[in-house]
């Protein structure tokens, strides 16, 4: 983490606390198993907030052996509005992440991608995925703790076109992972399963 980023926050008025909506699906864990896999925290820019992940994503993440969580930032889904603007929404993501049982993987969809990018400068995530990102043209500051970062989207998604994905991927060093045939709503489009499984494979790859 850059010390500047922290010192600015340290010297400014803290944002107000808010009663956050945090939804989850937990895997059936074998107590004899070794270390549990890193939990996953999902955030979307969609106004449904955490609710956008409950039907397919969280249960599937749990089926794949990881604790799946989704948070609604202030003013979204079941979380009331509160002060702080963008900093407040980033604060909500960081607060949700540190409340999880282990170092978390952060997934930011749509307009939540730039929020997750900022959360990464404040919390050493295990890994991060920017999914069909909107408004993530550059890197706000280096992520702390050097997490693996993946940018993913669909060539058929007009809300987050390939050009935008390329730009974000360049900022984080790498090439975007493309899933043809899926729309912008990766969580609830009919083709939701294949991209999610591919992301989980990417995470499993290093045992994260």
Partner 1 sequence: MPEYGVDAAYDRGDTVCVIGAGMSGLLAIKNLCEYGFKVDCYEKDSGIGGSWNITQRRSPMYANTHLVSSRTQTEFPDFPMPDDWPDYPGHKRVLSYLERYADHFGLRDHIWFGSEIERIEKADRGRFDVIVKPTSGSAARRLRYAAVVIANGHNWNPFVPEYPGQQAFRGEIIHSSSYADSSRLRGKKVLVVGAGNSGCDIACESATTADRTWHSTRRGYWYTPKYLFGRPSDQLSQRMSWMPKGLRHKVTEYVIRRVGGDPTRFGLPRPDHHMHQSHPIVNSHILHHIGHGDLEPRPDIARFDGRHVVFTDSSTAEPDLVVLATGYRPSYDFCDPELLGTTTGDDGFPRLFAQMFSPSSETLSVAGLIQADSGIFPLVHWQTVAIAKWLRIRASDPERAKQFRDRVVTEAGTRYTDGKMNDSPRHRLEVSHDLYLDSLARIIETLDKESDGA
102 near partner 1 (CB under 8 A)? yes
Considering the complex, state which of residue 6 and residue 155 has its C-beta at the smaller distance from partner 1: 6
Q: Which of these, 175, 155, 32, 53, lies nearest to 108 by C-alpha position?
A: 53
Query: Interaction with partner 1 in 117-136: which residues (CB under 8 A)?
Result: 122-124
26 near partner 1 (CB under 8 A)? no
181 near partner 1 (CB under 8 A)? no
Dihedral (C-alpha) 4, 70, 98, 16: value to the nearest 10 degrees?
A: 60
91 near partner 1 (CB under 8 A)? yes
- Binding residue for partner 1, selected from 22, 93, 94, 106, defined by CB under 8 A: 94
Q: Which of these, 188, 38, 29, lies nearest to 128 by C-alpha position?
A: 38
99 near partner 1 (CB under 8 A)? yes
CB-CB contact of 63 with 91 (8 Å): no
163 near partner 1 (CB under 8 A)? no
Q: Report the C-alpha gap between 46 and 43 in whole angstroms.
A: 9
Backbone φ and ψ of 2, nearest 5°: -75, 135
31 near partner 1 (CB under 8 A)? no
- Burial class of residue 19 (count of CB atoms within 10 Å of its CB; 0-12, 13-18, 19+): exposed
- Binding residue for partner 1, selected from 7, 86, 193, 206, defined by CB under 8 A: 7
Q: Applying CB under 8 A, which part among 51-59, 87-95, 167-175, 176-184 lies near partner 1?
A: 87-95
Size of the site for partner 1 (CB under 8 A): 29
Whose structure tokens read 């803290």? 14
Closest separation in Å from C-beta 130 to partner 1 = 20
- Helix pair 112-119, 85-98: axis angle to 10 deg: 60
Interacting residues with partner 1 (CB under 8 A): 1, 3-4, 6-7, 10-14, 17-19, 35, 91, 94-95, 98-103, 122-124, 144-146
């Amino acid at each position: 983490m850059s010390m500047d980023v922290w010192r600015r926050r340290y010297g400014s008025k803290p944002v107000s606390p808010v009663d956050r909506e945090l939804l989850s699906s937990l895997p059936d864990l074998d107590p004899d198993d070794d270390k549990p896999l890193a939990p996953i925290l999902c955030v979307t820019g969609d106004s449904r907030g955490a609710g956008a992940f409950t039907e397919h994503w969280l249960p599937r993440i749990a089926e794949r052996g990881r604790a799946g969580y989704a948070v609604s930032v202030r003013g979204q889904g079941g979380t009331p509005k509160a002060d702080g603007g963008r900093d407040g929404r980033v604060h909500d993501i960081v607060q949700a992440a540190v409340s999880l049982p282990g170092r978390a993987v952060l997934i930011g969809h749509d307009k939540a991608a730039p929020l997750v990018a900022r959360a990464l400068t404040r919390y050493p995530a295990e890994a991060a995925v920017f999914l069909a990102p909107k408004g993530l043209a550059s890197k706000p500051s280096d992520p702390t703790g050097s997490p693996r970062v993946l940018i993913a989207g669909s060539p058929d998604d007009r809300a987050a076109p390939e050009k935008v994905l390329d730009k974000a991927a360049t900022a984080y060093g790498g090439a975007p992972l493309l899933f043809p045939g899926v729309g912008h709503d990766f969580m609830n489009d009919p083709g939701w399963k294949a991209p999610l499984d591919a992301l989980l494979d990417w995470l499993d790859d290093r045992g994260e």
